[in-house]
Amino acid sequence: MQKGTISVQTENIFPIIKKFLYSDHEIFLRELVSNAVDATTKLQVLAQRGEVKGEIGDTHIEVILKPEEKQLIIRDRGIGMTEEEVLKYLNQIAFSSASEFLEKYKDSSIIGNFGLGFYSAFMVADQVDVVTRSWKEGAEPVKWSCDGNPEFTIEKIEKADRGTDIILHINEENKDFLEKFKIEGLLEKYCKFLPIEIRFGTKTEYFDTGEGDDKKEESREVPNIINETRPIWKKQPLDLKDEDYQAFYRQLYPMSPEPMFWIHLNIDYPFNLTGVLYFPKLGNAMEVSRNKIHLYCNQVFVTDDVRDIVPEWLLLLHGVIDSPDIPLNVSRSYLQSDGNVKKISEYITRKVADKLSELFKNDRPAFEQKWRDLGVFVKYGVVSDKKFEEKANSFTLIESLRDGFSLISEYKDKITANQTDKHGKVIVIYTNDAEGQHAQIEAAQQRGYDVVRLDTVLDNHWMQNLEYRSDLGFTFVRVDSDTTDNLVQKDENRTSVLSDKEQESVKNLFQEAAKSHTGASVQISALSPEEAPVLITRPEFMRRFKEMQALQGMGGMADFPDSFNVVVNSNNPVIVNKLVKAEGAAAGEMTEYLLSLALLQQGMLKGEALTSFVRKTLEKV
């Protein structure tokens, strides 16, 4: 038997880096600045341990742009490298000095974990120079150069200060990385909250001098500091005020309205996680509000695609999550699955549920005022997450148009006696358009029924979820449904004042008038005399099925024309005293008019039929 070692040919690594390892060329700046932060953090750790002699001085990182020379430089005054370390770390791809340091000093603030970040520079540069001097006493500075091939040069040079300059000779293909606004934008995106001060050029600062009549405004050039080294999520909640959270939200989302409230995440076992999640005011703008949670790893921006960490229904939240325990691939661009990801997801869900429960218990009126926005989150969570649904039972509300908000259990107790059908189902009557369905709402309320408002994009799913719950026994019926007439026995016992012959005559008139309307069917019902002479109702099951298909972007039934019922109230005075007594053309004209009125009220009279109705109405004025 012969044993050997599999070798990796280093000449193949650069094409892989350039084409496959990183999803976006701009990532190089994040990787190189992160490495500079690592080097500086290492120095600070050594200084705290007393291993560095004297003061370490200013430890900011500087990003320098030299467009004329086609150079971009990342400069730090961190730990630096000796010649031996350069040969060890820069020439052994994927051997991470950060990992070695972390193992030795157990410092969790070190960002780099992969050793490949440095080589992202070759995505945008024809040549990369590393000019470095170690913190170690007596260390000689060296310069390492490579043009993207396995060959490199290393030489001794003069360098007075400790630290490292990474000099990128930007290639023609990526010359846009020599533009000031481009680099400043990338630093804002990826480095805005790094723990070490990042400087990029200068900016003009204006200030007042003198007093009274001698007062004047002057200016001076100061370093342009990119980042906030200790962001809000790294602070203790007890040290923060509401104004601090609100100011941070405005910093993240300057064009958004103020959030309703927020949750400060801070846990160090069984995983490390900090962050602040905000509940924005959504209304129905769900899609616009997605991908607003930013994921950081030790204050380095990673991604705003956090679907693997945050449950789908909580992607509507805004804010920041920061965790060194979230597994990333070598480019830090994509998440990888492991046990911690699931634990973090469950933790965030629990924190959200606890916060909502606390708000409801502490101030129910204020909670109810926010429900129009909060309900989107809660309903999404209920239909998506069984564990959340169990917790949400204690704060999920339903809104009655007449009586305001109730918990689901409270609402069931309220309507069971009057809104239970012959099959024992508790009928919940709802509207998804309180203005457009005003006539039907008024009619239902006159019969003693309660109507709830369910008009968000999630309500179809939420209703189905509640209907599946055996403990409720709910059936949801829209207020213009064809089933709202048969809820209780008193409606079934009402009789018509018209004879059978008169009812048949009226039905024939409306059937003739309805011929031009696709999907219409006519029925005679003995309703209250106070209700409208003609109502339009729809088959509940078919309508809801079509709405669900349309919501899911499916064709099929969603493309079929609407079917609806023309319900003629045989007890209404207009039908009893006028239509029944009319004859010939007058009866037909009156029938057409009553049908058109009912369709108009539902927004169903359109095109030529609407034009004709308006013209005939004006002729009678």
Q: What are phi and psi of 412, to 5 degrees?
A: -60, -45
Identical fold at 10-201 and 232-365? no
Residue located via tokens 């004025």: 621
Look at 13 and 243; give whichever has higher pLDDT.
243
**Position 4 pLDDT exceeds 60:** no
Q: Does domain 495-538+556-619 have CATH number 3.40.50.300?
A: no
Grouping H, G, I as helix, E, B as strand and the rest as coil, residue 505 is helix
Tokens of 522: 């006519």
Residue 385, beta-bridge partner list: none
Q: Give me the half-sphere count of Cα atoms (radius 13 Å) on the Cβ side of residue 7.
A: 5
pLDDT digits (tens, 9 = 90+) for 79-113: 999 999 988 887 665 344 445 544 654 554 444 44
Residue 169, beta-bridge partner list: 71, 127
Burial of 390 from C-beta contacts in 10 A (0-12 / 13-18 / 19+): exposed
Tell how many helices (H) and how many strands (E) occur in the chain: 19, 21
**Position 244 pLDDT exceeds 90:** yes
- Pairing verdict, β 520-525 and 564-569: parallel
Confidence of residue 289 (pLDDT cuts 50, 70, 90): low
- CATH topology for 396-490 is Rossmann fold (3.40.50)
* pLDDT computed for residue 480 by the predictor: 82
d(CA 33, CA 190): 9
Report domain extents, the chain.
10-201, 232-365, 396-490, 495-538+556-619
How much of the chain exceeds pLDDT 90, in percent?
37
* pLDDT computed for residue 530 by the predictor: 82
* pLDDT computed for residue 16 by the predictor: 57
Neighbours of 218 (CB within 10 A): 10
- Pairing verdict, β 273-279 and 261-267: antiparallel
For residue 270, whether the previous peptide bond is cis, meaning omega lies within 30 degrees of 0, is yes
* pLDDT computed for residue 286 by the predictor: 57
pLDDT digits (tens, 9 = 90+) for 119-166: 888 889 999 999 999 999 889 999 999 887 777 889 999 999 999 999
* pLDDT computed for residue 182 by the predictor: 96
Q: Give me the half-sphere count of Cα atoms (radius 13 Å) on the Cβ side of residue 544.
A: 21
- Evaluate whether 380 touches 356 at the Cβ level (below 8 Å): no
H-assigned helices in 435-520: 438-446, 459-468, 489-492, 500-513
pLDDT digits (tens, 9 = 90+) for 381-440: 999 888 899 999 999 999 999 999 999 999 999 999 989 888 888 999 999 888 888 888
* pLDDT computed for residue 114 by the predictor: 40
Segment 500-527 mean pLDDT: 85
Q: Which residues contact 29 (CB under 8 A, 6 or more apart)?
A: 63, 74, 177, 183, 186, 187, 190, 191
- Evaluate whether 483 touches 542 at the Cβ level (below 8 Å): no
Confidence of residue 209 (pLDDT cuts 50, 70, 90): confident
pLDDT digits (tens, 9 = 90+) for 323-360: 887 766 544 555 556 677 788 888 889 999 999 999 99
* pLDDT computed for residue 14 by the predictor: 61
Neighbours of 395 (CB within 10 A): 20
DSSP assigned state of 317: -
Q: What are phi and psi of 222, to 5 degrees?
A: -130, 160
* pLDDT computed for residue 196 by the predictor: 95
* pLDDT computed for residue 27 by the predictor: 85
* pLDDT computed for residue 24 by the predictor: 75
**Position 466 pLDDT exceeds 80:** yes
Tokens of 19: 């084409």
**Position 488 pLDDT exceeds 90:** no
Look at 492 and 206; give whichever has higher pLDDT.
206
Confidence of residue 5 (pLDDT cuts 50, 70, 90): very low
d(CA 537, CA 521): 10
Name the CATH code of domain 232-365 (choices 3.40.50.1100, 3.30.230.80, 1.20.1280.290, 3.40.50.720): 3.30.230.80
* Helix 27-48 with 97-105: angle, nearest 10 deg: 30
Look at 519 and 261; give whichever has higher pLDDT.
261
Q: Which residues contact 85 (CB under 8 A, 6 or more apart)?
A: 97, 134
**CATH numeric code, 10-201:** 3.30.565.10
